[in-house]
Amino acid sequence: MAELKYTPVEEIEKIQATLRNTFRSGKSKSIEYRKYQLLQLAYMVKDNTKRFQDALAADLGRPPFESQFLEIGSSIVEARTAWANVDKWAKPEKPGFSINSTPMRPVIYKEPKGVVLIISPFNYPMWLCMSPLAGAIAAGNAVVVKPAETAPNVSALFAELIPKYLDPELVAVVNGGIPETTRLLELPWDHILYTGGGRVARIVSAAAAKHLTPVSLELGGKSPVFVDPNCDLETAAKRIMWGKVVNAGQTCVAPDYVLVPRDFQDKFVNALKEACDKFYPESVSTPGIYSRLITPQAFRRVKGLLDNTKGKVVFGGETDEATKFIAPTVVKDCSFDDSLMSEEIFGPVLPVIPVENVEEAITYVNNNDHPLALYVFSRDDAYKQNVFSRTQSGAAIANEVVLHPGIEGLPFGGIGPSGSGYHTGKYSFDMFTHLRASMDTPSWIDRILGFRFPPYSDQSFKGASRLVKSLPPRPTGPP
């Protein structure tokens, strides 16, 4: 494994200046050059699949299959999708026909925002860097990538490979910790995407505000699961359990807690145990079959939440600080004020909260921060619609967990405290694109719009009035 070397702080402004000069040269505006870079990005991942698997295993203890399914394959798909569609995405658009404005030849140009900054997290250090990078390149930007220093092996691999495969005058990697990130945030950018937690997001937003830099945030939160007794119990238990244990629960859209009717709790918990036993027929502590917490600090935080719970540990609960191991754990009979409900868990511990009815569950969710994802398991369409229509969340998913950020055509983003903005696929392209309005008005239009010029008269008012469409009949009252 390559050693992670931090970027010298004094070099960061020079790196940005190089990218800005290259961007101003117009080099990145060529669609063909964007496509070249995107295909290079895809091959960077494909050519080095085994190295990325090894780096992700070293950083997160993650099984190779999880890395391939959740990050490596998805990163190739994002780059390829952008490569295949950038011609269409970047094509200028004309507004719909209007008798008043179409003769002025209005058009919307899709232009790159400029030099953008992507700050990616440790939990999916590859995909949450590669996916937005593909969108930024497709949009024609120059890009600085700041990977997570807590995933040092992946970050070191980025620093080695990106300059080999991509144009180093348009895409640069800055590695480091707080001093390096602070220096980055002191500089003006044309857009910042930050993925991580709310505390750092406030720092990023405050720094960006000094330069009026637009910011997109992907922040996570406590994503609830509503379980209706009228569900496919075996499927629900299997999917919820997988969503909680994959990557050792370090997933921003992982099921964070479950809301279940009190008289259905034990049956549901038993189904979770059956699913977990099938997942791991041998010891779950065996290296290579189950991920580990990213850092000792992360381990101690999750263990502290578990140690202080007043709920009953149904299964799991084993921990090993030396290897940052926490077993898949389910805790039942949790209350809303339990330690496990005090913050996003971001670990393989699933609290189950018995409620009297769905109304109590909806009230609790609505009284707290809007989550990044909200999950419902039910066969009843009315139940699903009731929960979805009366709550707010980044995504509202029925009978599935975790997979939606990888579904082509769906936006990935939060609302309120769980984030702002959308990415993946075309949404990443849109995030880093400026819609530039333009017109080219012929001289003869003044025969029609000549009334706009002084001196103003009654004819001016009559001419302007003709541009305003008549209203429909006045409404008679609220529907």
Phi and psi for 12 in degrees, rounded to 5?
-65, -45
Contact between residue 193 and residue 208 where contact means Cβ atoms under 8 Å apart: no
Cβ contacts of 404 within 8 Å, gap of 6 or more: 253, 373, 395, 397, 410, 412
Strands 107-112 and 433-438: antiparallel
**Ramachandran class of 412: left when φ > 0, alpha when ψ lies in -120 to 50, beta otherwise:** beta
Q: In what order do the strands lie in the sheet with 373-377?
A: 312-315, 329-332, 349-355, 257-261, 224-227, 373-377, 395-398
The residues annotated with a catalytic role in the active site are: 218, 252
Contact between residue 298 and residue 324 where contact means Cβ atoms under 8 Å apart: yes
Helices 233-245, 265-279: inter-axial angle, 10-degree rounding: 60
Bridge partners (DSSP) of residue 143 are: 116, 171
Contact between residue 126 and residue 75 where contact means Cβ atoms under 8 Å apart: yes
Cβ contacts of 310 within 8 Å, gap of 6 or more: 334, 335, 338, 339
